[in-house]
A and B are shown apart, each in its own frame.
Chain A
Amino acid sequence: MKAVVLAGGSGSGLQAITGGKPKVLIKILGKPFLERVLLNLREAGVDKAVIVSDRPPALEDITYRLGRLMEFEVRNQVGREVVGAIMTAEDILAEGALLVYGDTLVPSEAYLLTFSHSVESGEPTILIVPNEDVRLYGAVLVDELGNVVSFQEKPQKSVEGAYAFGGIAMLNQKLVELLESTGSLEGAINRYVSDIGKVRTVLWSGVWVDLGYPVNVLEAMYYIMKDLKGSFIESGAEVSPKAIIEGPVYIDKGATIDHYAVVRGPAYIGRDSMVGSHTFIRPYTDIEDRVTVSSYDELVWSIISENATIGRASFLGYSIVGVGAIVEPGVITKLLASPGEEGIKAIKVMKGRKLYFKAGAVIAANSRVPSQTILEPGILYK
């Protein structure tokens, strides 16, 4: 099986985290997002991937690392937007390769399901997911037999009864030709449905995360961490006998956990990183490589990217700290957002019967947050 992986795109607020690299290179538990997508494709039986990117050299690391598992071809994106990216690999897609959005995380089964259903039905097939916010992903209306009725790539408002497009598809020669003539995926699918034949759907009910917003990165981290089965301390890591490690925690090579630090998993402490004395790492915290977390800090459900520093006595929750950023001592994130607040994408947490919407801060790569700053929920700090 072959796949075409679209690895371009920046995502709102996401490039701030990576310092300008493509958003698919955001690291979660020590691996770039795209690498996880490719590994899942491999598991589904994909042996050749054509990756389309606007910055191919940025992907060399990954293709080098996975080169023994599968064959790669990295193409420089020719046109603009999704259509441009798709057209860059039209020859492969027309042969029956799986089209995969590289910023969407699904288990391998979702790929296999789309591929197998398309082969069996002999029709082009797209993956759809139940999602209330179809505006972000594209709205697909489906008939009672699972055939596409219509597709709207960027609906202005929510569409009743529509499913979200899941970023995985099997096209065919005709559909690729229509892409070229209509200039959009929406146009091509709708024209195909009205003039040529059926477009089938696969309804995916499992894990599905699309990296649209920072909160999606935190979601992806949550699902990946949920799969941690036990604790593991790599050789060369130093864990103080006075530190408390609880639940599944992965401590990578060369990491240091200082006296009286408490790490309550699931959590990940990256290579050569340091967790200071009396710091409290709460569940779903991902500390990447070469990060310094000083003493008396508290972190919960957050990603601290490579080379970042968290100063003493800070509290960060539901937040992402970009590569190389410095958070000076005493910085506090406020977490509770109201559900209606415009533009804030939050994680829902239920306590008793009440729903709370939690959103922390996104701190841009290489920025410096001054001491004692109080960061409001959902803020992007540059």
Chain B
Amino acid sequence: MACGIVAVVASRKGALRKPLGEVIRESLKSLEYRGYDSVGFAIITDNGLVVRKSKGMIDSVTAKLGFSEFDGLVGIGHTRWATHGPPSDRNSHPHTDCTGKIAVAHNGIIENWNELKEMLVRKGHVFKSDTDTEVIPHLMEEFKNKGMEPYEAFKATISLLKGAYAIAAIDIDAGNKVFFARKTSPLIVGIGDGANFLASDIPAFLRYTRKIIVVSDDEVGYVTSSSVFIEKLIKKGDKGIWISIDIGKRLRTVEWTPEMAMKGGYPHFMLKEIHEQPQALASTISGLGEKLDDVVKVISAANKVVLVGAGTSYHASYLGAIFLNNLGEVFAQPIISSEMKWHIKSLSEGDVMIAVSQSGETIDTLLAAREAKDRGVKVIALSNVIDSAIPREADLVVYTRAGPEIGVAATKTFTTQVLVLSVIAVKVAKYRGIVNEGASEAHLRAIRSLPETVNKIISKYEAKSKDVAKLMASKRSAFFLGRGYGLPVSMEGALKLKEVAYVHAEAYPAGESKHGPIALVEDGFPIVFTAVSHEEAELIKSNVEEMRARYAWTIAVTPKGDEGHLKNVEERFTMPELPVTAASVAYVVPHQLIAYYTSIIRGYDPDKPRNLAKTVTVV
């Protein structure tokens, strides 16, 4: 998850057979997987510098702003993934100077922007956004005012910046050139035919060229339509000298697919997304703003609450309902979106629906939300996609900030959904006076530590999950049993195994297991038990023994300290002791890993489960 920048310089109009604005749109679209909540471009046209930018998804923004109508020889584009603060039109990139001649797209963080901004404001520069990036065009302007040539002004600007950045800048006075600089954030030059490119990642220009130069840290330079110049400051004593880089040595030909480039060092999106959970959780936590207070008030005042969702989102809804019932003491019920039709009549004004959908476009959830609204029910949307259909129609919106999820099997979107719902429930409990400050803080502290906790669980249990998967791979069927919070976690585990590894898997409340499912248990039958607390572990103890007596192969995901209770299980994932809220997020991780590795060992592609689509938009 990061911003994406692109830049293009063409030798003549039509060199790429389409308007420059369209080329930039396509390039930004190929960087969509890096995250997006606002989009913008700047092109030097015959009528001067044109800048268009807005929050929202790439497709809708580019259509709204008419990207493809603009043509020119030089342009830059940007997709923003706001890590702090909400996305907005004015904070979208590119940013410009006071004269409207310079435009800059930036990925990264300028650490000393505040002092630079103060200095520039004192000199009379007028800032139009709250971003760190805007200091860059104003600094360039400042240096130009002092008589520097545009490129010298750019270099002087870069030398003042502290932090991480990949920057693309254009200046009407510089002609057909894009200036660039890199520190820490990725930046790649593409050498095309009649045009050169610059982007955060290779897929942005792979349709035009496979010849690339990777810009290294601390390098600056510029591209024209036919040349690339890169230089680096080398310290000699207390003086620095600029040394130009031999780009011939750096030139490489990309022999891999854009898809491989998007996977960022993982063989599958699913594995990448499992490993991205610490970041996704951290980003979601930092994105929970004041809006949550309204959500908490609305839920606290509700007569009853229903949570609707489909697939994985239903499992998150199920956990959300238990959180609200058990912690907030609010009557809440999870209902599968497509079944809502038969429950809707019981809802009326004063009730609340939480519509949970990763994409915000799931048709059954959207229809349920519409029907609820018609009946005067307040609808709260929980989605991962800014301004998607369900958030647009809802009364209140909370976003998970998991970043785009490309693997069809939901992983990071599930854990971030559960995190948001747990925070809401804790706040409702606090608001309603059911728990005191200390108790609610204990939950929130554990929730805030989830990025670290989940990271530790992944690295500690990845190898063991793979070992368990080697054995699971030969099984045809499995049960996932749990009680309380452990039940929806089990349901999610069963769904993962079923959808990516094609092992028939069924989740059941552990207490119900002897009312039917136990009849199927025979020697070696896999049963995965999940308990998120000692209380739940104590309660499933007898279920574990029943199953073991029938020679089931048992696997336990349970908190530390329960080894004695469940000492006979064949495989154990000892999890950190956590409050039920944080545990419900963290304990699903081994399930995800087992499903992923079982799929790999069985020879399937976990990113493309047969018969499944990422977003279901038809009834």
Name the contact of B524 in the complex, choosing from A45, A119, A353 (C-beta under 8 A). A353
Among residues 254 to 279 in chain B, which have CB atoms less than 8 Å away from a CB atom of chain A? Answer: 254-256, 260-261, 263-268, 271, 275, 278-279
Among residues 170 to 203 in chain A, which have CB atoms less than 8 Å away from a CB atom of chain B? Answer: 197, 200-203
Among residues 233 to 273 in chain B, which have CB atoms less than 8 Å away from a CB atom of chain A? Answer: 252, 254-256, 260-261, 263-268, 271
Name the contact of A112 in the complex, choosing from B214, B260, B279, B459 (C-beta under 8 A). B260
User: Closest residue of chain A to B554, judged by CB?
Assistant: A353
The answer to whether B267 touches A109, judged by C-beta atoms less than 8 angstroms apart, is yes
The answer to whether B266 touches A132, judged by C-beta atoms less than 8 angstroms apart, is no
The answer to whether A117 touches B265, judged by C-beta atoms less than 8 angstroms apart, is yes
| B215 / chain A contacts, CB cutoff of 8 Å | 122
Task: Judge if A236 is at the interface, Cβ distance under 8 Å.
Answer: no
The answer to whether A353 touches B265, judged by C-beta atoms less than 8 angstroms apart, is no
The answer to whether A200 touches B265, judged by C-beta atoms less than 8 angstroms apart, is yes
Task: Judge if B81 is at the interface, Cβ distance under 8 Å.
Answer: no
Name the contact of B201 in the complex, choosing from A120, A132, A146, A161 (C-beta under 8 A). A120
Among residues 134 to 190 in chain A, which have CB atoms less than 8 Å away from a CB atom of chain B? Answer: 141-146, 160-163
Task: Judge if A72 is at the interface, Cβ distance under 8 Å.
Answer: no
Among residues 310 to 324 in chain B, which have CB atoms less than 8 Å away from a CB atom of chain A? Answer: none
Name the contact of B570 in the complex, choosing from A125, A161, A353 (C-beta under 8 A). A353
- Among A109, A122, A350, find the residue whose CB has the most chain B CB atoms closer than 10 A: A122
The answer to whether A132 touches B460, judged by C-beta atoms less than 8 angstroms apart, is no
Task: Judge if A230 is at the interface, Cβ distance under 8 Å.
Answer: no
Task: Judge if A206 is at the interface, Cβ distance under 8 Å.
Answer: yes
Nearest chain A CB to B560's CB is how many angstroms away?
13
Nearest chain B CB to A230's CB is how many angstroms away?
17
Determine, out of B103-111, B338-346, B385-393, B464-472, the stretch whose residues face the partner at the interface.
B464-472
The answer to whether A202 touches B202, judged by C-beta atoms less than 8 angstroms apart, is no
| A109 / chain B contacts, CB cutoff of 8 Å | 267
Task: Judge if B451 is at the interface, Cβ distance under 8 Å.
Answer: yes
Count class of interface residues, chain A = 35 or more
Task: Judge if A116 is at the interface, Cβ distance under 8 Å.
Answer: yes
In this complex, how many residues of chain B approach chain A with their Cβ under 8 Å: the count is 50
The answer to whether A146 touches B265, judged by C-beta atoms less than 8 angstroms apart, is yes
User: What 1/0 mask marks residues of chain B from 141 to 185 whose CB sits below 8 Å from any chain A CB?
Assistant: 000000000000000000000000000000000000000000000
Among residues 24 to 46 in chain B, which have CB atoms less than 8 Å away from a CB atom of chain A? Answer: none
The answer to whether A146 touches B466, judged by C-beta atoms less than 8 angstroms apart, is no
Task: Judge if A31 is at the interface, Cβ distance under 8 Å.
Answer: no
Task: Judge if B456 is at the interface, Cβ distance under 8 Å.
Answer: yes
Nearest chain B CB to A34's CB is how many angstroms away?
23
Nearest chain B CB to A95's CB is how many angstroms away?
8
| Distance of A141 Cα from B459 Cα, bound (Å) | 9
User: What 1/0 mask marks residues of chain A from 233 to 275 whose CB sits below 8 Å from any chain B CB?
Assistant: 0000000000000000000000000000000000000000000
Name the contact of A144 in the complex, choosing from B451, B465, B597 (C-beta under 8 A). B451
The answer to whether A121 touches B463, judged by C-beta atoms less than 8 angstroms apart, is no
| A112 / chain B contacts, CB cutoff of 8 Å | 255-256, 260
The answer to whether A116 touches B552, judged by C-beta atoms less than 8 angstroms apart, is no
| A352 / chain B contacts, CB cutoff of 8 Å | 523-524, 551, 553
The answer to whether A120 touches B188, judged by C-beta atoms less than 8 angstroms apart, is yes
The answer to whether B266 touches A119, judged by C-beta atoms less than 8 angstroms apart, is no
Identify 16 residue pairs between A and B in the complex whose beta-carbon atoms are under 8 Å apart, listed by A's number: A113-B267, A120-B261, A130-B463, A132-B467, A145-B279, A161-B456, A162-B459, A197-B217, A202-B266, A203-B267, A204-B267, A205-B466, A351-B524, A352-B524, A353-B524, A353-B554
17 extra interchain contacts, Cβ-Cβ under 8 A, other than A120-B202, A206-B267?
A45-B255, A110-B267, A112-B255, A116-B255, A120-B201, A121-B214, A122-B216, A132-B463, A145-B279, A160-B460, A162-B459, A201-B265, A203-B267, A205-B266, A205-B271, A205-B600, A354-B524
Q: Rank and list the top 6 A-B pairs by shortest CB-CB distance, nearest first.
A: A352-B523, A353-B553, A161-B459, A352-B524, A130-B463, A130-B462
